[in-house]
Structure 1
Amino acid sequence: MNQDHQNTNAKANPYDAIIIGGGAAGLMCAATLGKKGKRVVILDHANKVGKKILMSGGGRCNFTNYDISWENYLSANSHFCKSALSRYTQYDFLDLIYKYEIPFHEKTKGQLFCDNKAKDILNMLLDECALGAVEILTSTKIDQIERQALEEGSQIYKLSTSRGLFSAPSLVIATGGLSIPTMGATGFGYDIAKQFGLKVTAKHASLVPFTLAQPMLGVAQSLAGVSLPVLVETGKTSFHEDLLFTHKGLSGPAILQISNYWWPDMSIKIDFLPHDSIDDLIESWQVNGIKKNLVNALSEHMPKRLVQAWFEHIDTLKPLAERTALQLNPKEVKAI
């Protein structure tokens, strides 16, 4: 389906629903309504819709997960998630994937990615919109929204835009949050929510990497590209996922997940040996007479670059790097 720039003199009320925002949610909503016979228009301020879809999943779009439950969602109203997921499951979306014969594969923990490119998902949603005769108008600036009460308790929404006047009895705000301003994300949706008296919860960054300050930033930079499974905790929440060191700090699924639950006054605990105990390992090396130095012995359980950095940057451990487990006293074992 082509994303066009037509209809600058749109009729005042040819629509049953107006959807502001042409991301994944807006396109899916429009396609669903359109295929039910509703007259739908999508208005988006960007020059193209679906930009975030194209960058999701590293360009392959992690479009759903085999293991989905309401417990996986952060929400002040968990009952909404229960209701929504019972009405439309991951398998309903997979039926759509199969219909369009989009090749995909499963990664870890049920995550599903396109074999080719995320554009397959965007094209699928655009084709679904076309089946419902959905009109998509890009480069459209919303100047004003008004709600007018009509007879018998009904209402109509009137939108003044750079393309003229639009009106419909139903209005959907699908503009997303503030996550990527460079991709066109704005606070427009929050402003509209406030305008119509809806409660807006406090906002904070989530699903984001952590940036570090010196001296730990220097450690992370020396390890950029190193990845390993960890146990990460904050408060009462924990995740067993992969952590990735970057030039700015820490990233990877473990960090992105825990960032949803972390606030600036909270601490983060990271276990780099989630499936082993360092005490048990050292005891095993001592019992079995392992004569490898600690760096080489530990490198069999975690990336060697990380082990080397650990001993190099922690002053109390520097003298121990070339020691074997047999040469450690109880105080030194505790230090490690």
Structure 2
Amino acid sequence: MPVVTCIEDLRKLAERRVPRMFYDYADSGSWTESTYRSNEADFRGILLRQRVAVNLENRSTQVSMAGQTAKMPVAIAPVGLMGMQHSDGEILTARAAEKFGIPFTLSTMSICSIEDIAEATTAPFWFQLYMMRDRDAMTRMIGRCKAAGCSALVLTLDLQVPGQRHKDLRNGLTVPPKPTLATLIDLATKARWCWNMSRTKRRSFGNLVGHVQAVSNMRSLSAWSTEQFDPRVSWQDVDWVRRQWNGKLILKGIMDVEDAKLAAAHGADAIVVSNHGGRVLDSAPSTIRALPPIAEAVGSTTEVWMDGGIRTGQDILKAWALGARGTLIGRAAVYGLGALGEAGVTKALQMLHKELDVTMAHCGHTRLASVDRSILVPGTY
């Protein structure tokens, strides 16, 4: 294994090893990418207070997220096409998460299926759901989640109208992908990726192809998915999902206090302050800036989590101090997966946990429960 000291090391390695169109798919934002960049940059502006002469023995970062014990306040976020970062990518990531002791979320738009993850793991996992026009297909998918033992549904609300991502347009990323001379040349330089991909049967959207009546292959999937993202989604649709699902319901894509209050009123067990990694509405605020007023407004009635821009354990601690009782990581895990497969995801989690633990100690705490805004330098958040 190459010497890896931080998430950025994994990112650089993944950039070399993953085909350009799939690397860019994960590592991009919409339009000018200003929100994508501010998600990460705004963490760096928040400063920490160092404390000394405190007994720092017996530290623990363990928490509960939606009733599930986690070694640290982190879950793997749903990421589409994870199985194109590395063959069987969702399976490898789910295994790494289970062994490490944090929750894993499978995307609707994953390469590996719900059933694949259930077969490969023993811990309950979460499933991310989009609101589609085809309610019968959604009902069947929710039923498959129940049969697989999923412990939570993560309903994503911020993709009724997809954002425009310029890198995907330049790379010609379509469903199914249309090879160009540039992509073929790029693939010729990614021998490791090609070899691994040749050894798996999972190369399509496993949750949709063969499970939705109108989707029998990748070509029919393109036509179906173009029509299915429902711009009419309302809070009544959230109620419909709540009636279909008796497990934990997590609403993802909340960036406004009023929406957070509505989410709590409509039965959310947790909400995720999220701008979809800067991939939908450019010029939206970073999630770490949007977090505090939302946590203040609804944190006493529902669990408030956040995602976007988390690259270090210090980011996790800063989010906790500002009211997040959990975080979701997407790109940090994807970089590890693309760089080194399951071992890379494990390495990413180990580094984040080490950074979180050491930073908590230097701020004078041994338990996350005692951490609040007092660890932050006033005027920097």
Q: TM-score, normalised by structure 2?
A: 0.24
More helix by percentage: 2
TM-score, with length taken from structure 1: 0.26
Say which one has the larger Rg: 1
Q: More relative contact order in 1 or in 2 (CA 8 Å, sep 6+)?
A: 2
Pick the structure with more strand per residue: 1
